């Protein structure tokens, strides 16, 4: 995040919140993206690709650390499934913000500036980077930016970042094997026949298997 | 003799077919199976579904979890090669950047063209659809009736394999006995939609799609397809046995390596090649029809993309099947002393009356679908059911404010989760994150239903294409310039769709996502978005007002035929591909007749 943006966000935040820390820093690499090539209009569709295979992953270790903590605040481990960062979501986010396509290049400054902001906000409120805060402190920041519709005006931009970050985290997570398992998706397997929903379920829903209109 | 190069072409052919999609595939199939020597020219590369299809690939195995990019507009795993609304090095010109005046042109530069990725919805036009002007005074009638085309719909269904049911509803024709394969069982959301849509007057019946829900009838169909031709019967019987039935997994839009759905490359071309009568040149960018003696076409000029060289192929008949707009472009770029405005364009109608389909969508969340047990709802990938147009009487009585109908395609089910599946659900969750978000994701996954209206656009004089005087593509071929305008018949129809979808969602006890658009101009998708490009060289009864007769034979040059959607004088709400194939088969039968009679 460039200094001007940082200051703009900080000023907006301080208008409604007392400034807790004096240290106002935001050091991140430029959000501009070097020119790299996409995969073109005729890529090999049968090959398996990993993040980093097609273009370099442009996140610093510090950005990755903040990204991982934020991912896991959005999708933590529970009794059913693991956390987002443990199934490769940070690599996916790095792939996403480093990609040479317009949608991703639009997201890059939103994500990188957002990560810088949340670190700065941690420092402002509690004197530490976001990743170094305790659970309660992290939640107190996230709670302020989690819902765009009810957010205080001072956090509007941070809330837009959080919404996008949550979408990407959820997208990365639920499109992974762990996410599919969590949602109990059981398709993508060859079947001899397609039997449709079980009768007991339909009865419970008040439906009949022969619901179609006949002429 | 299958795949050849410009250097190994025969000296002459009976027929050159330009294009290898639904129209080109069907034309080449019918002609070569019945003994004509055929050359197919395809502008894209050779494509082999058996080895290139990403069957069973999951999102995390592809770049960006398979997201759409400018390189792959329908996502990484979509079958399209070198295609999309923009093709590098092959521009076209818009006359405005306003959404209302745009026509975006989807192309696929690959063997089989757009049939490799299409939605496979295969609906017959009904009797009204061929005589719409007679019914309401708008647009154009076709110079043929449903009865003329019905036997060819039967044949295409028998050959390609279409699932569906015969419901006997108005203007929604039944197929002849034995033509349709059984439809797949509806999924839960389909049944709920069917039950609740009926409460607001909307009928829901089995979808019709080009997917083999069981193996084709290789014992009895071959004789119905090729009566009196035991060689063709044997070839197609063998090939039908090589196509597997659907395995109820992996999206059709990726193509199908086991040949369980229709692609020209898996259905039309293998038997046509097996006949020994078809040569194919890929990477052959056709751009001009050449004329010879007696004002007849002598062949086609093309650029060999592998060498950049100008080449020519000769034949007794030329069939254009390059896609509506590309076929128009070839005609307009074929200028001679006799045809200064393009071959077969003495009427000035080439490029005129371009149409797409009216499209509008709405999504809803259905609490009744929450917390269902795990179900495999992949099925045949989509459209197990649909709603045909139902308000014929009200419309004819002038009660709707728009003249033509639409059908509804439904989406729903516990589909393989992707990037978008749980994106933007704050409107339901209030912005949850953490463990609450995981619970919300489990609760809302699989509870969304989507409604896509697909409606008829009436041909109008303001929607057309022409050759741009300046811009050329990378081969030096002049490109198309598009003009586009919707009439109120289309925009009001789009607003009506929105209202219908809202009523169905509410009848399901659901909540509409986002806004219900009452302004039709905002509800309607831009021209070309639905990728049902038809018209541009319409068939008709008179040479002065149309480009071809009812055989797709151009009035001006009797050995030039159009087999693709360019000849459609109207664009019923029914997706055009099945009708394109039926027309192409009928045209090919006529060409065979003329060739046998030495009339060409």
**Partner-chain contact B167 A214, CB within 8 Å:** yes
CB environment B211-239: b (16+ within 10 A), e (fewer) = bbbeebbbeebbebbbeebeebbebbbeb
pLDDT at B407: 98
Question: How is chain A split into domains, by residue range?
Answer: 3-205
Q: How far apart are CA B319 and CA B567, in angstroms?
A: 12
CB environment B153-188: b (16+ within 10 A), e (fewer) = bbbbbbbbbbbbbbbebbbbbbbbeebbbebbbbbb
CB contact A209 to B (< 8 Å): yes
- Nearest chain A Cα to B193, which residue? A211
Instruction: Give the residue from B223, B258, B218 showing the smallest Cα distance to B238.
Output: B218
Where does B42-187 have alpha helices with state H?
Answer: 49-52, 127-130, 132-136, 146-160
List, as one string, the DSSP characters of B567-598: G-SSB-SS-THHHHHHHHHHHHHHHHHHHHTT
CB contact A57 to B (< 8 Å): no
State phi, psi for B360 to the nearest 5 degrees. Answer: -155, 145
Contact list in A for residue B422 (CB cut-off 8 A) is 170-171, 174
pLDDT at B484: 98
**Partner-chain contact A142 B206, CB within 8 Å:** no
Q: Which long-range contacts (CB under 8 A, 24 or more apart) does B461-467 make?
A: B461/B352, B461/B353, B463/B103, B463/B353, B463/B354, B463/B355, B463/B527, B464/B351, B464/B352, B464/B353, B464/B354, B464/B536, B465/B103, B465/B325, B465/B328, B465/B329, B465/B351, B465/B354, B465/B536, B466/B332, B466/B351, B467/B329, B467/B332, B467/B333
> Which of B70, B72, B416 lies at the smallest CB-CB distance from A102?
B70
As given in the structure block, the two tokens for residue B139 are 């647009």
State the pLDDT confidence band at A12, using cuts at 50, 70 and 90: very low
For chain A positions 8-37, those within 8 Å of chain B (CB to CB) are: none
* Position with higher pLDDT, A94 vs A210: A94
Q: What is the ipTM of this complex?
A: 0.95
> Which of B187, B420, B445 lies at the smallest CB-CB distance from A171?
B420
Contact list in B for residue A187 (CB cut-off 8 A) is 249, 376-378, 414-416
- Nearest chain A Cα to B60, which residue? A176
List, as one string, the DSSP characters of A20-55: --S--------S---------SS--SSS---TTSSS
Asked whether B491 and B524 are in contact (CB, 8 A), the reply is yes
CB contact A48 to B (< 8 Å): yes
- Nearest chain A Cα to B420, which residue? A171
State the pLDDT confidence band at A211, using cuts at 50, 70 and 90: confident
Inter-chain CB pairs, A–B, below 8 Å? 238
Contact list in A for residue B165 (CB cut-off 8 A) is 212
Share of chain A above pLDDT 70, in %: 82
Task: Tell me the average pLDDT of chain A.
Answer: 88
**Partner-chain contact A183 B420, CB within 8 Å:** no
Per residue in B532-574, pLDDT (tens digit) is 999 999 999 999 999 999 999 999 999 999 999 999 999 999 9
pLDDT at B452: 98
pTM: 0.95
Per residue in A112-161, pLDDT (tens digit) is 999 999 999 999 999 999 999 999 999 999 999 999 999 999 999 999 99
State the pLDDT confidence band at A36, using cuts at 50, 70 and 90: confident
Contact list in B for residue A166 (CB cut-off 8 A) is 433, 437
Whether the predicted pLDDT of A27 surpasses 60? no
**Partner-chain contact A103 B380, CB within 8 Å:** no
Alpha-carbon torsion (A10, A13, A14, A20), positive or negative: negative
Low-confidence ranges of chain B (pLDDT < 70): 1
Instruction: Give the residue from B169, B172, B139, B144 showing the smallest Cα distance to B490.
Output: B139
Q: Which residue has the tokens 């139902």?
A: B390
- Nearest chain A Cα to B372, which residue? A201
Per residue in A40-70, pLDDT (tens digit) is 999 999 999 999 999 999 999 999 999 999 9
């Amino acid at each position: 995040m460039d200094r001007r943006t940082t200051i703009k966000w900080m000023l907006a935040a301080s208008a409604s919140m007392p400034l807790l820390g004096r240290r106002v820093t935001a050091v991140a690499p430029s959000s501009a993206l070097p020119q790299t090539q996409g995969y073109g209009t005729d890529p090999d569709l049968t090959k398996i690709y990993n993040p980093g295979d097609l273009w370099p992953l442009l996140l610093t270790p510090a950005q990755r650390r903040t990204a991982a903590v934020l991912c896991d605040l959005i999708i933590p481990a529970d009794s059913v499934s693991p956390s987002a960062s443990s199934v490769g979501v940070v690599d996916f986010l790095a792939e996403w913000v480093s990609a040479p396509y317009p949608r991703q290049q639009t997201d890059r400054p939103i994500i990188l500036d957002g990560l810088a902001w949340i670190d700065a906000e941690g420092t402002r409120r509690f004197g530490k980077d976001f990743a170094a805060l305790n659970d309660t402190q992290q939640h107190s920041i996230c709670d302020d930016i989690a819902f765009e519709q009810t957010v205080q005006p001072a956090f509007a931009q941070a809330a837009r970042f959080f919404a996008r970050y949550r979408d990407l985290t959820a997208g990365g997570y639920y499109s992974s094997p762990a996410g599919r398992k969590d949602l109990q998706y059981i398709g993508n397997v060859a079947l001899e026949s397609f039997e449709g929903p079980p009768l007991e379920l339909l009865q419970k829903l008040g439906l009949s298997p022969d619901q179609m209109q006949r002429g | 003799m299958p795949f050849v190069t410009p250097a190994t072409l025969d000296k002459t052919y009976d027929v050159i077919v330009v294009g290898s999609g639904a129209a080109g595939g069907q034309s080449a199939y019918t002609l070569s199976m019945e003994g004509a020597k055929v050359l197919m020219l395809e502008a894209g590369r050779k494509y082999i579904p058996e080895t290139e299809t990403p069957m069973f690939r999951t999102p995390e195995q592809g770049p960006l979890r398979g997201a759409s990019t400018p390189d792959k507009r329908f996502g990484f795993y979509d079958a399209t090669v070198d295609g999309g609304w923009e093709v590098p090095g092959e521009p076209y010109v818009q006359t405005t950047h306003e959404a209302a005046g745009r026509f975006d042109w989807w192309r696929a530069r690959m063997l089989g063209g757009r049939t490799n990725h299409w939605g496979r919805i295969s609906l017959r036009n009904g009797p009204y659809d061929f005589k719409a002007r007679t019914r309401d005074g708008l647009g154009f009638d076709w110079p043929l009736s449903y009865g003329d085309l019905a036997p060819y719909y039967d044949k295409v269904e028998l050959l390609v394999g279409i699932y569906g049911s015969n419901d006997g509803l108005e203007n929604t024709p039944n197929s002849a006995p034995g033509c349709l394969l059984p439809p797949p069982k509806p999924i839960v959301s389909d049944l709920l939609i069917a039950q609740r849509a009926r409460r607001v007057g909307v009928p829901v019946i089995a979808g019709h799609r080009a997917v083999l829900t069981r193996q084709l009838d290789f014992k009895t169909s071959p004789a119905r397809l090729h009566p009196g031709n035991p060689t063709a019967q044997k070839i197609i019987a063998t090939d039908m046995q090589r196509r597997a039935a659907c395995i109820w997994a992996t999206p059709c839009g990726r193509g199908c390596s086991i040949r369980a759905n229709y692609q020209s490359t898996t259905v039309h071309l293998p038997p046509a090649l097996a006949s020994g009568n078809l040569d194919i040149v890929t990477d052959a960018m056709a751009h001009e029809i050449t004329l010879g003696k007696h004002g007849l076409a002598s062949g086609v000029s093309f650029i060999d993309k592998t060498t950049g060289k100008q080449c020519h192929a000769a034949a007794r008949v030329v069939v254009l099947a390059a896609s509506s707009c590309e076929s128009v472009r070839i005609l307009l770029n074929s200028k001679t002393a006799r045809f200064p405005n393009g071959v077969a364009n003495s009427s000035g109608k080439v490029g005129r009356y371009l149409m797409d389909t009216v499209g509008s969508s709405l999504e809803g969340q259905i609490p009744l679908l929450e917390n269902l047990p795990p179900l495999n709802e992949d099925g045949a990938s989509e459209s197990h059911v649909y709603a045909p147009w139902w308000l014929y009487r009200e419309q004819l009585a002038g009660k709707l404010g728009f003249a033509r109908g639409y059908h509804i395609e439904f989406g729903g089910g516990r589909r393989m989760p992707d990037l978008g599946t749980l994106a933007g659900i704050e409107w339901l969750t209030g912005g949850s994150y953490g463990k609450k978000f995981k619970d919300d994701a489990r609760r809302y996954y699989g509870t969304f239903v989507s409604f896509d209206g697909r409606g008829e656009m009436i041909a109008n004089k303001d929607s057309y294409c022409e050759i741009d005087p300046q811009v050329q593509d990378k081969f030096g071929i002049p490109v198309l310039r598009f003009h586009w305008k919707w009439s109120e018949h289309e925009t009001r129809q789009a607003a009506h769709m929105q209202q219908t979808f809202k009523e169905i969602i509410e009848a399901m006890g659901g909540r509409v996502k986002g806004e219900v658009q009452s302004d039709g101009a905002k509800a309607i998708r831009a021209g070309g978005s639905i990728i049902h490009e038809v018209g541009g060289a319409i068939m008709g009864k008179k040479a002065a007002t149309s480009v071809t007769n009812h055989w797709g034979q151009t009035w001006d040059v009797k050995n030039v035929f159009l087999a693709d959607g360019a000849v459609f004088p109207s664009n019923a709400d029914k997706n055009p591909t099945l009708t394109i194939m039926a027309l192409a088969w009928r045209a090919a039968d006529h060409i065979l007749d003329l060739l046998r009679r030495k009339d060409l």
